[in-house]
Structure 1
Amino acid sequence: MWEPNGVLSIEPYSSKSVGQQSHKHIVQEFLAMLYKSLLFCLAAVLLTPAHSDAKEYQFIPARCEEQPGVAQQIGGPLSICSFPPDYSKPDSEDIQAVIKHIKSLQLN
């Protein structure tokens, strides 16, 4: 503490009482923070499902055919799949474009 004459005076204190108060204060702060964190996590867990709608997906069966002779060209099998309602298949020009693109990737 500074005295009026500009000299710093040191006053003795009881380290035991200050240490206990400090420790008690730290424990109280920790417990308060832990309590707030638990409440926040609980609120997040409980409120998240309430705001999201469950999505349902319908299984759509596909018809897949392996393309014969393509495995030697691209280094593996190529399956072309078609989907409902009309199960339309790509023409040979589209299939050749896919094969050309796969070859251009130069996968090793």
Structure 2
Amino acid sequence: CYFVLLYEDFGMERFGEFIKYARKYREILHSKICFRSMDDSRINTLKEIRDWFVNGEKQKVGPMEWISPQCQFDLILSINGFLGILEFILKKYPGSIIQPRRISQDMLEYYS
């Protein structure tokens, strides 16, 4: 996943938002802290991150892209897949726990 950040065209505010959401994404999906239910506040944070990247298409300036389309697609796919895994496992097997950092990318693609 390659980030194409053109600081002059992107603007400080949007650049800061990108860094904020990319950092949150990494913190959640690389965490040792387990998910135990669909009520976990990190689920809403992941949805917020996903929505920001989905709406990112509208934030691109002309032909200059702040993030490659493939990277944007992969981030959205990863979040949707992880949310799908959480919903499937935690509803089907109450009392289960899921540690985000142990989920492989292949599993995420299957559940997205």
TM-score, normalization by structure 2: 0.25
Structure with a larger share of its residues in strand: 1
Q: Which has the higher contact order (CA 8 A, sep 6+)?
A: 2
Larger Rg over CA atoms: 1
Give the number of the structure whose residues are more often helix, by fraction.
2
